[in-house]
């Protein structure tokens, strides 16, 4: 790496040296030459995650950069994207105005031989070189100036890749702290209208990363927009106290008018050029952020096929494991859309209905009984194809040390090949046959009932018509639900990276806590109402007794016997 301080002007160094910056520098120094994800743990601050997590690279690690290209990076910040750019290009020039920030980049990427780091204000640099790509990530305050600079430093066929927060994104509608105001949001984000005004005369096309460009979990394109039913899985962390749920807000926006999603997306990623941009096949990209490094892959959906790629060297082994699963499926005579080619998993792009869609259609047109019969048909298919086994001394519960009663082991139907992601969405119906894809996971000696349990729990579209509990009851698997929940949690914990899982589910966990507290409150209210009724009944009984006593006292017989009662008391 070459460090260039020739153009550094201390008076132009406007980025403050904060405690956050010192903390990031300390972590980089302590993990020099190592994977920086090791510097993060479950309790890491969100700002450190945004500075150091490898998930930051999701924004561009899928992008088809030209081979042997040159890249200019403006506002390199902590070097979050710099390492990825060095892997994709023959030459990278990164510009960072702050010397303190540049120190972090230098220590972080000191082994990158194709990197030149220039410290200084980009607008004052007499740089004459033209680049195949210019990258601008999160520079909203000087965006107009940065775009003009980029235009002048692009080759004729060059591409500007620009990411910015949307001023009117759903995530921006937060409850502001007292010391903050709307001006802060205006300076750190830009509206779609204002952004396009800066790009007049240029060609561009949009991508929409969620939850935003900083930690993308999924990236949509103009050709593939989110729907009301799938938006729930795309949101991850939040960095403010939102005054409404993002998922529900997006669902309402999309339901009202799908095109409005583009106006309220949290972030924009754009390809910008002097010439018309060639259309690529990419529909959208999704990432397995919540997983440990050895399981992290990216899924790129194209017009005619779907690719699964590893995002690091560790996860290449996971792709090879999926390859073995594909071979097993074929040996079992189960149709699969997947194949392993050139170190990638390639899936045929299917337009046929999924099993979930078929089940919903059956419920709508034929009713509950036909719906349940279709699930029973699927159950019988699993029993036939996955090889029922009675040799269950070593089963999935004993493997993961999950207590399971002997009577349950005898009642459950165990199969040798437990593909536990045989959920309804991963199954297409082609010519009345089941075709599966995305089968990453396999456990031996697993109950079919658990596979069905997961298929139901993860079918969000069906819940509109029948609750999970109703289906469990009809399928006679209700007694095993607590056991299956524990198994599911165990399998997920094996895969998850705790820190990123927390960021992905924080809002959902809060929602679950709220729902649980709400339910407990309702139960207490019902208990109070019940006690109030009992108290009222006792009061009524007491009142009735009092009336009976009054009537008795006023009765004639009571008056006649009064002297005799007085004499009796005297005798006693």
pLDDT (tens digit, 9 = 90+) per residue, 374-398?
999 999 999 999 999 988 889 999 9
Cα end-to-end distance, the chain, whole Å: 113
Same structural domain, 299 and 429:
no
With a cut of 90, say whether residue 107 has pLDDT above it: yes
Residue 188 domain flag: no
Average pLDDT on 557-567 reads: 61
Same structural domain, 339 and 427:
no
Using one digit for the tens of pLDDT, what is the confidence trace for 501-511? Answer: 777 665 444 44
User: CA-CA distances (angstroms) from residue 527 to 514, 530, 538?
Assistant: 20, 5, 16
Average pLDDT on 201-221 reads: 93
Residue 105 domain flag: no
- For residue 430, list its beta bridge partners: 433
Using one digit for the tens of pLDDT, what is the confidence trace for 440-484? Answer: 999 999 999 999 999 999 998 898 899 999 999 999 999 999 999
Residue whose entry in the numeric block shows the structure tokens 């100036």: 145
- pLDDT (0 to 100) of residue 512: 43
User: CA-CA distances (angstroms) from residue 177 to 17, 141, 184, 242, 283?
Assistant: 23, 21, 11, 11, 38
User: Binning pLDDT at 50, 70 and 90, where does residue 174 land?
Assistant: low
- pLDDT (0 to 100) of residue 32: 73
Average pLDDT on 201-230 reads: 90
In sign, the C-alpha dihedral spanning 455, 459, 464, 465 is: negative
Same structural domain, 329 and 302:
yes
Residue 394 domain flag: yes
Cβ-proximal residues to 45 (8 Å cutoff; 6+ apart), any chain = 23
Average pLDDT on 12-33 reads: 81
Higher pLDDT, 154 or 238: 154
Domain-terminating residue out of 452, 470, 496:
496
Q: In the chain, pLDDT over 90 holds for what percent of residues?
A: 60
Same structural domain, 423 and 482:
yes
User: Of the spans 3-12, 252-261, 499-508, which averages the highest pLDDT?
Assistant: 252-261
Residue whose entry in the numeric block shows the structure tokens 């008018």: 257
Residue 491 domain flag: yes
Q: Which of 21-35, 364-378, 401-415 has the lowest mean pLDDT?
A: 21-35
With a cut of 70, say whether residue 185 has pLDDT above it: no
Using one digit for the tens of pLDDT, what is the confidence trace for 314-367? Answer: 899 999 999 999 999 999 999 999 999 989 999 998 889 999 999 999 999 999
Using one digit for the tens of pLDDT, what is the confidence trace for 271-325? Answer: 999 999 988 889 999 998 888 889 999 999 998 899 999 988 889 999 999 999 9
- pLDDT (0 to 100) of residue 489: 95
- Chain centre distance of CA 466: 25
- pLDDT (0 to 100) of residue 490: 96
Domain-terminating residue out of 300, 333, 349:
349
User: Binning pLDDT at 50, 70 and 90, where does residue 559 land?
Assistant: low
Same structural domain, 468 and 377:
yes
Residue 202 domain flag: no
Cβ-proximal residues to 15 (8 Å cutoff; 6+ apart), any chain = 21, 97, 98, 100, 101
Reference 164, options 204, 124, 128; nearest CA is 204
Residue 418 domain flag: yes
Residue 385 domain flag: yes
Average pLDDT on 199-207 reads: 95
- pLDDT (0 to 100) of residue 553: 64
User: Binning pLDDT at 50, 70 and 90, where does residue 74 land?
Assistant: very high
Domains identified in the chain, total number: 2
Residue 362 domain flag: yes
Query: 63 and 87 in contact (C-beta within 8 Å)?
Result: no
Same structural domain, 295 and 417:
no
Residue whose entry in the numeric block shows the structure tokens 């550094």: 8
Q: Which domain holds residue 383?
A: 355-496
Same structural domain, 363 and 480:
yes
Same structural domain, 380 and 480:
yes
Same structural domain, 374 and 468:
yes
Query: 350 and 435 in contact (C-beta within 8 Å)?
Result: yes
Higher pLDDT, 447 or 560: 447
Q: In the chain, pLDDT over 70 holds for what percent of residues?
A: 87
Using one digit for the tens of pLDDT, what is the confidence trace for 515-530? Answer: 455 556 666 777 788 8
Same structural domain, 488 and 407:
yes
Domain-terminating residue out of 458, 475, 496:
496
Same structural domain, 412 and 301:
no
Same structural domain, 321 and 402:
no
- pLDDT (0 to 100) of residue 12: 76
- pLDDT (0 to 100) of residue 554: 67
């Amino acid at each position: 790496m070459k460090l260039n301080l020739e153009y550094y002007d201390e008076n132009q160094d406007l980025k403050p040296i904060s405690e956050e910056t010192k903390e990031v520098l300390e972590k980089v120094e302590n993990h020099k030459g190592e994977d920086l994800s090791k510097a993060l743990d479950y309790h890491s601050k969100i700002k450190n995650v945004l500075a150091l997590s490898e998930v930051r690279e999701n924004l561009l690690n899928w992008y088809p950069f030209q081979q042997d290209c040159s890249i200019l990076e403006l506002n390199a910040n902590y070097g979050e994207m710099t390492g990825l750019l060095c892997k994709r290009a023959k030459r990278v020039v990164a510009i960072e105005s702050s010397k303190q920030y540049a120190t972090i980049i230098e220590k972080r990427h000191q082994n990158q031989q194709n990197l030149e780091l220039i410290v200084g204000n980009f607008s004052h640099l007499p740089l004459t070189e033209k680049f195949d790509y210019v990258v601008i990530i999160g520079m909203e305050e000087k965006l107009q100036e940065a775009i003009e600079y980029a235009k002048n430093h692009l080759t004729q066929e060059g591409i500007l890749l620009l990411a910015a927060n949307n001023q009117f994104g759903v995530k921006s509608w937060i409850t502001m702290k007292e010391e903050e105001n709307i001006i802060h949001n205006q300076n750190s984000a830009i509206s779609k209208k204002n952004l396009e005004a800066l790009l007049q005369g240029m060609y561009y096309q949009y991508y929409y990363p969620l939850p935003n460009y900083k930690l993308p979990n999924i990236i949509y394109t103009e050709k593939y927009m989110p729907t009301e039913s799938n938006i729930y899985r795309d949101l991850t962390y939040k960095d403010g106290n939102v005054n409404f749920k993002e998922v529900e807000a997006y669902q309402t926006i999309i339901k009202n008018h799908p095109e409005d999603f583009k106006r309220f997306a949290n972030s924009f990623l754009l390809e910008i050029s002097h010439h018309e941009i060639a259309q690529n096949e990419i529909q959208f990209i999704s990432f397995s952020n919540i997983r440990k490094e050895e399981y992290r892959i990216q899924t790129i959906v194209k017009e005619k096929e779907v690719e699964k790629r590893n995002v690091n060297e560790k996860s290449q082994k996971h792709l090879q494991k999926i390859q073995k699963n594909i071979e097993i499926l074929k040996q079992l005579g189960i149709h699969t859309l997947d194949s392993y080619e050139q170190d990638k998993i390639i899936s045929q792009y299917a337009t046929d209905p999924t099993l979930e869609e078929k089940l919903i259609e059956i419920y709508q047109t034929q009713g509950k009984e036909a719906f349940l019969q279709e699930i029973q048909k699927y159950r019988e298919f699993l029993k036939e194809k996955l090889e029922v086994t009675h040799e269950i001394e070593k089963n999935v519960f004993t493997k993961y040390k999950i207590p399971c009663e002997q009577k349950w082991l005898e009642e459950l139907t165990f199969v040798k090949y437990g593909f536990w992601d045989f959920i309804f969405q991963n199954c297409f119906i082609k010519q009345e046959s089941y075709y599966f894809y995305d089968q990453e996971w396999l456990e031996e000696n697993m109950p079919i009932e658990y596979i069905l349990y997961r298929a139901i729990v993860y079918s969000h579209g069906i819940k509109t018509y029948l609750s999970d509990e109703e289906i469990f009851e009809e399928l006679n698997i209700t007694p095993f639900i607590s056991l299956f929940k524990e198994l599911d949690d165990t399998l997920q914990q094996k895969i998850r990276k705790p820190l990123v899982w927390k960021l992905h589910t924080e809002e959902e966990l809060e929602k679950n806590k709220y729902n649980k507290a709400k339910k407990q409150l309702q139960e207490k209210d019902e208990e109070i109402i019940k006690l109030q009724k009992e108290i009222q009944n006792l009061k009524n009984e007491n009142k009735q007794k009092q009336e009976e006593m009054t009537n008795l006292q006023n009765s004639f017989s009571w008056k006649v016997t009064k002297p005799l009662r007085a004499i009796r008391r005297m005798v006693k």
